[in-house]
Structures are given as C-alpha cells and as structure tokens.
Structure 1
Amino acid sequence: MIGEWPRRHANVPKRRGPRGAGRFYGWWILAMGIVIFAWTAMAQTQGFSVLLLPLTKEMAFGSHDIALIFLVGAFGGAFLMPYVGRLLDRRGARRILIIATLAYAGAFGVLALVPSKAAAMGALLAVRLIGSIVLWLGASVLVAWWFSRRRGLALGILVGAGSALLSCLAFGLSVLIEHVGVAGSFLVLATLTLFVITPMVIWGVVDTPEELHQHPDGAPPSATDSQGQPPSADEGRTGVRASEAYRTPFALVMLAAGSLAAIVTTGYLFHEATIFIEQGATAQDAARSLVPQMVGNAVGILIVSSLVDRHRLRGIVAISMVQLVFTLWWGFNLQSFGSLWLFGLSFGLATGLIFGYVLAALPRYFGTLHLGEIRGTFGAVTMMMASFGPLGFDVLQGVDTSVFIWVAAVAAALISLASLIIPWPEPMEDWANTSQGPDLARQSSGPSE
C-alpha cells in the first residue's frame, strides 16, 4: 500500500531563521535526534553498569534487583516496541517524544525523591523502557522522515555520533555520582530532562518537511531527479506495513542476521571479563576494550549506512557474518594477535556492519510510512534474542569451549548463503515512481542502481 505525505498546514506563512525558506531544517532535526539518542544513556547497558554499585550501596538495591529490572525491561521492551512504532507512524514523533521526555523526567524525580524501594524499582524500569525504546525509536524514525536520498548517511551520523555522545554521558554520570551521590544525580537528570530536553522537543521538533514547506533532503521544488522529474514530498512517505515487509525473504534474512549478531555479542560481552582473565588479561583490560568497540561500531554503521543510499550491497550480510564469527574466535584466542585494542575495534565492527545496513536498508526498501512499526518489530525480535545470549553461552560453553563458536559459525554460514541467493527488493523510490505501486513480488538481483 502506498501512503501519501501528510499535507498539513498548507497555509503556514514563511518563517525566518533555521525554519525559513531556503534553509533545510533536516540538519537541525538530525542534531536534536543525536541529543535525544544520547540521552538514552541512563537506560542502556552503559548507564546500568555505572549505576550498579551506587544503587547497591546507597539505595539498598541488590545486584539481582538490577538484573531483574534489566531482564523485565528487555522482555517488556520487546513486547512494546512494535506498538510504540505504530504510535509513531500514526501520531507523529513530536507528540510521542514530548510525552516520553516528561515521563522520563518524572521517573528520574521518583528515583531522587521517593525513599520507597518498590517505587524506585518501578521508576528504574520506566527509565529503561522509555529510554531504550521510545526515545531511541522516536529519534531514528524522526530523522528518517526528513531524508530520502541521503537517509542512510543521516541515520549513520545519528547512531555514530549519538553512540559516542551516549558513552560520554555514561562516563559523565559516573563522575556526577562521585560528587553528589546517586540520588543527587537523579535529581540533576530530572531537571535537565524537564528544562532542556523537553523544551527542545516541544519547540524544536517538526515531524515532516511538508509542515515547513520543505522537501526531504532539502531539495528545492525546481530540482529534478534521475528521471528528470521534480522531487515530490510524497516520495518520503510511501511504504508497506510490517506484516507485508516481513513476508519477504529479504526482511527475514535481515532479521536472522541481526538476531545472530545480538545473541553472539551479548553472550560474549556478558562473560567478557571472565574470558579475558582466563587468558591472562585482566578485568580492566575488558573494560578498556569497550572504547574501541564503540569506535568500531560507530565507524561500521556510518560507512555502511551511507553506502546504502547508492548501492544494494548484496554481499554485506555475508561479510558481516564472517566478521562476526572471526571476532568471536579471536575473543577466545586473544594471544593470536596480541592487541586488545584491535580486538575491540573488530568486535564493534562486527555489529556495526549488519546493524548499519539494516538501519538504512529497511526504510530504503520498505518506505517510511510504516517505518516505526517495521523498525519496532526488528528491534523487538533482536532485543528478545539478545536476552537469551548469556544463557545460550553458558549452556554451550558448559559442553565445550568451541561449541559456541561452531554453532555461531554454522548459523552464520546459512544466513550468508541465504543472503546471496534470495531476490533483492526494489528500492521504495522506484516503486513510488511507477504506476504499479509497491509490488513486493517484483524483485531485482542487480548489483546496484
């Protein structure tokens, strides 16, 4: 089904400043998306790792309490993510993000001011769900709506820069806790969310270029596309539903590849310190490897997602699967190459390649009209699979050290083979420029556009 770009506010007068005619507002949307993305730090693994010891010392939390919140957040998030995505598609990102940031600030306020442990656990679960699902998904969908031919580049910048800033915020949280304590830190977070992030969303975020009489990518109406036709705002809001998308072999292979990457990386990372110590390294070495992991992940996402704008990259799934298995083997044979920094870089690259491709490929091949639902479904499945990573690692490693590697290698080989033989869908802009509409049965195996 092809949807139409919403034609709201048709008589809005021309504005001055960043929203004025001739100034593409999408880059401001991208900048705000990076801030929103980074502000999820307290809900991500990095934030929880920083909070673990302070919560146990100052707020009578046990490590099992934190683990329970993290697990419930993973399963709850997997259940809620498709529904949140559907809400974003129907109601727009701005409205959902306003509600989410207000709730985020409220949850931080409860953690800072309410002494009840039960209330604190509920608030911490709310932080986990709001940050890792609503804010993260809202930022990525919002940016995708503002770009078309440069969408992959914009999304790569969003995740790359957002991840780097997220890690910096997690480190800043640890410093803040040292100075004002965990309760004081939550109060600071509540204040910043309420008086900085929420106003930015209220007065800064605009759902679509059409609302400002602009076009995706900032292309003026007089410009022409490769067919010699002027670009239409309708192009940015075509798409199919998640139920249609995930009936295609392409989407199923992407889902399988993302799930395997999630299982392998979370399974290994959960036991990384122990594995390092068994090979003569230290827990501090494991912690230091997180920085190159972040760099490798950001670089992989940025490069691959930007290439999706111009190329099909049929071999990227196979390449990412080979990289994933090689890095997993390297993780159990650290002495083979010596450099732990290079291992961390390779580890981050292994996930960055596949997730960077999926990030840009889903809107490219299935459109943005139902992108929230499509990305929400992908996120739900991979989040659920990731939660089984540590358990699967324990079970398989209990049999033999190499079993986990061999199982991952066989799964990666099957996914790689499938990616090379399945038909590849046409880009959504090609569907939109034909009178036939998005026929999912019409596939192409050409190397690039």
Structure 2
Amino acid sequence: MYPVIAGGALSAMTFPGQTAGLSVFADPLIEQLGIDRSTLSLSYLIGTLLGAAAQPAIGRLLDRFDARRIIVVIAVLFSGVLFALSFAQEIVGLTAGYVGVRMFGQGALGLAATTAVAQIVRRRRGLALGVSGAIGSAGISLAPVLLERVVSEVGIATAWRLEALAVLLVVVPIALTLPRPAPASMEVQRTSTGTIIVAGYTARQARRTGMFWVLTGALSTSAMLSTALGFHQIGLLGERGLTPLEAAANFIPQTITALAATLIVGALIDRHDPRIFVVGSMAAMAASMLLVGIVTPGILAVIYGLVLGLAGGALRGMEAAAFVRYYGLTHIGSIRGLAVSISLAASALGPYALAVGAEWAGNFSQPSAWLAIIPAGIAILAFMVPQPSPRATRPS
C-alpha cells in the first residue's frame, strides 16, 4: 500500500511544473515583467517543447538505474530550477525557467513516479496505478487554491522558493523510503498453459507496433485538448454566458469525475481490454469539444465539466498499465518516455491552436467542433489496430 500512496504523493509534487500550478503566476508575471499575454504564452510554449525533448533520455535512465535514485536526482534539479526561477527578471530567464520546470516537474518526476509504482507493484498493477494517479490528480487540482494565497501574500519570488523547498522536503524522503523493485526481467504472467516470463519489447520494437501510436495518440490528444480547454476556460465559458467565478468553479465537476474515472478504470484495466477505455476516453473528449458550442449556465455547464473530467480520468487510469501489459517492464521507461515527450509537446500546442482558431472563427465553438475530429479518429483506430503479441519465453 505504501508504494501506491508514495507514488501518488510524488505525482502530486509535480504541481509546480503543471499548467494548473503555473497558471497562478500568469497574471502577476505579466504585471511584474511588463509583458503581454501572448508573449507569456509563447514563452510557455517554447519551455514546454524544449522540456519535452528530454523525456526519452530520462526514460532510458529509468530503465538502466534504480528509479529511486533517479527520483532523488530529479528532485534536486527540479528544486534548483524553481529556486533559480525566483530570480528571473526578464522573458529570457522566465523561458529558461519554464524549460526546467516542465522538463523536471510535469515530465520527469511524473514519468518516474508512475514507472516506480509499475516496477514495485506486481499484483493488481492497474488498480495500484489508478489509485496513485487519483492521489496525484487530487493534489495537483488542489494546489492552485493554496498557491493563489501564497503568491498574493508573499509574492512570486518567495512562492517559487517555497515550492523549491517543498519539493526537496517531500520528494527526497519518499524516494529514499520506497521499497526496492524486483528485476524487470523476472516479470511473469500466468496463463492456462503455465507460467511465462515476459521478455518485454524494446523502445524501437514498441514503436513499430500500431498500438504504441494509438496509446500515444490518445495521450497526446487528451493533453492537447484538455490543456487548451483549461487554459482558455474563463474566456471560453464566458462566451457562453458564465461569469468568471462560475467558469472557474467548473473545475470542481471536472475534478470529481476525473478522480472517480481514474479509480474505476484502474480497478478494471487488469481484467479488460485496454482498447475499451481508450475508446471511452476519446469519445468523452470528443463530446466535451462538441459541448462547448451548447454550454449554458446551469446544468449544461456541469455536464460539460463532468464529461471533460471523465475523458482525462479514464485515460490516466489505464495508460501506464496498458503500456506495461502490452510491452513488459524491461524497457518501460524508454517506451513511456517517448510517449510522455510527444504528449507534453502536444499540451504546449493545444492552447495556441484553439486561440488561433477562435480568432479566425470569432468564437470558441467552431474550432472546438473541428478539433473533436481528432479524438474521434483515435477512437476508431483503437479497434482497427491489432494488439501486440506477447514477447515471452517459457522458463526452462
């Protein structure tokens, strides 16, 4: 049980590098640095893209070395970047800081936390990853509430320094107390004809399978569109008649269904075809995009939030377990590292794509409807692409 809770706490501590955690600093940074919102958004986009590029290398390190040690190194580097970011006084320094917090926060620490849980927990792995993911999601969702008060009371610089201290004090002790995982080469599956040892795909072999690109496409689509909708939520829902307070409150139903879906799908993924949950997640994401055009204050706004939370939560509850189920543990860091890299890059492009579409169409409804084609296409592909065959050897 401890590895599951610990993994969730580690995932929650990615909040200084997550969009939700960074969004609290947006308006104060615009005022303090004397820049406009588009300049800040471009800085964020560049930082996210460059941070994403490092994830495959981090994944390979997780395959070669003890994940616990890698997490300690990530925590030290993440903390150092946050501390250095507190001294940024112009856009170049801010962009460099964004590179670091997106690389080590949202990317590396999140990747390492889920990889560690997958390596340590061998029975009911999907449920373990689902519970861990739900804990992490809850922490990330609640962090902006506390951060807003901290920033308003002590300012941007001190808030970043406090985040740096929190990362060290929380992440390092957890990493050092995690149990040692069994060797990935001893991963076994029990079938009707006996026990087999799972050899596992290499990253190159995984990339040659269609299912890798379906899972990565689902992750990237969810990251791109949910970030776009979240980044523009106040303006998007304001266009449909919601007040800024009502628009901000829509994060509550999103969080509720995201947590519930993560737990439920995590409990089911060990016994059911992962493609079912890919289709369900992508269908919910497409529905969210289409609902943008008909949302009104009241029940429809709540339904929109519930459906959007369902889309992200269902995928979060199954993706790590699905990668392990299809490709084994031996090279799971490298395999998921590439997938995380692509999805992180997609999350950077989402807000920009929706903003450009809204400027062209004069509203958010039309580009949202067009973007719904992407998750619909992934859902169709999920059942067209064959599942990878197990790479396993029977023990002698």
TM-score, normalised with respect to structure 1? 0.77
Q: CA deviation at 1:144?
A: 0.4
For 2:338 and 2:79, locate their aligned partners in 1 and report how far apart those are by CA, in whole Å: 27
Match of residue 328 from structure 1: 289
Matched ranges for 1:200-349 at <5 A: 200-201=174-175, 203-209=176-182, 238-335=199-296, 338-349=299-310
Match of residue 377 from structure 2: 414
The answer (yes or no) to whether the contact 1:110–1:119 under 8 Å persists in 2 is no
RMSD: 3.1
Mean CA deviation greater in 415-424 or 94-103 = 415-424
Match of residue 31 from structure 1: 5
Match of residue 149 from structure 2: 175
For 1:146 and 1:154, locate their aligned partners in 2 and report how far apart those are by CA, in whole Å: 10
Question: Against the structure 1 CA distance between its residues 336 and 294, is the aligned structure 2 distance closer, same or farther, given a 3 Å change threshold?
Answer: closer
Q: CA deviation at 1:135?
A: 0.8
For 1:277 and 1:336, locate their aligned partners in 2 and report how far apart those are by CA, in whole Å: 10
Q: How many residues align?
A: 392
Q: CA deviation at 1:368?
A: 1.2
For 1:74 and 1:155, locate their aligned partners in 2 and report how far apart those are by CA, in whole Å: 25
For 2:292 and 2:348, locate their aligned partners in 1 and report how far apart those are by CA, in whole Å: 20
For 2:157, the aligned partner's letter is A
Match of residue 122 from structure 2: 148
Match of residue 6 from structure 1: none
Q: CA deviation at 1:162?
A: 0.8
1:31-81 Cα distance to aligned partner (Å, 9 max, x none): 222221111111111111111233345566764564244212221122111
Mean CA deviation greater in 35-44 or 117-126 = 117-126
1:263-303 Cα distance to aligned partner (Å, 9 max, x none): 33233333332222222112222211112212222222222
For 2:117 and 2:324, locate their aligned partners in 1 and report how far apart those are by CA, in whole Å: 11
Query: Residue 53 of structure 2: SS of its match in structure 1?
Result: helix
- Among candidates 50, 55, 74, match of residue 48 of structure 2: 74
The answer (yes or no) to whether the contact 1:277–1:283 under 8 Å persists in 2 is yes
Mean CA deviation greater in 321-330 or 267-276 = 267-276
For 2:382, the aligned partner's letter is S
Match of residue 432 from structure 1: 392
Question: Against the structure 1 CA distance between its residues 330 and 63, is the aligned structure 2 distance closer, same or farther, given a 3 Å change threshold?
Answer: closer
Mean CA deviation greater in 91-100 or 366-375 = 91-100
Match of residue 220 from structure 1: none
For 1:383 and 1:119, locate their aligned partners in 2 and report how far apart those are by CA, in whole Å: 21
Question: Against the structure 1 CA distance between its residues 116 and 323, is the aligned structure 2 distance closer, same or farther, given a 3 Å change threshold?
Answer: closer
Match of residue 59 from structure 2: 85
Match of residue 106 from structure 2: 132
Once the two structures are aligned, what percentage of the paired residues are identical? 29
Match of residue 15 from structure 2: 41
Query: Residue 299 of structure 1: SS of its match in structure 2?
Result: helix
- Among candidates 166, 181, 185, match of residue 159 of structure 2: 185
For 1:122 and 1:412, locate their aligned partners in 2 and report how far apart those are by CA, in whole Å: 32
For 2:24, the aligned partner's letter is V
Question: Against the structure 1 CA distance between its residues 336 and 239, is the aligned structure 2 distance closer, same or farther, given a 3 Å change threshold?
Answer: same
Question: Against the structure 1 CA distance between its residues 105 and 324, is the aligned structure 2 distance closer, same or farther, given a 3 Å change threshold?
Answer: closer
Query: Residue 200 of structure 2: SS of its match in structure 1?
Result: coil
User: Which blocks of at least 5 consecutive residues in structure 1 are unaligned?
Assistant: 1-26, 218-223, 437-449
Match of residue 29 from structure 2: 55
Q: CA deviation at 1:119?
A: 5.0
Q: CA deviation at 1:405?
A: 4.7
For 1:51, the aligned partner's letter is F
Q: CA deviation at 1:332?
A: 1.6
Query: Residue 24 of structure 2: SS of its match in structure 1?
Result: helix
Question: Against the structure 1 CA distance between its residues 176 and 391, is the aligned structure 2 distance closer, same or farther, given a 3 Å change threshold?
Answer: closer
Query: Residue 388 of structure 1: SS of its match in structure 2?
Result: helix
Match of residue 14 from structure 1: none
The answer (yes or no) to whether the contact 1:305–1:359 under 8 Å persists in 2 is no
The answer (yes or no) to whether the contact 1:260–1:408 under 8 Å persists in 2 is no
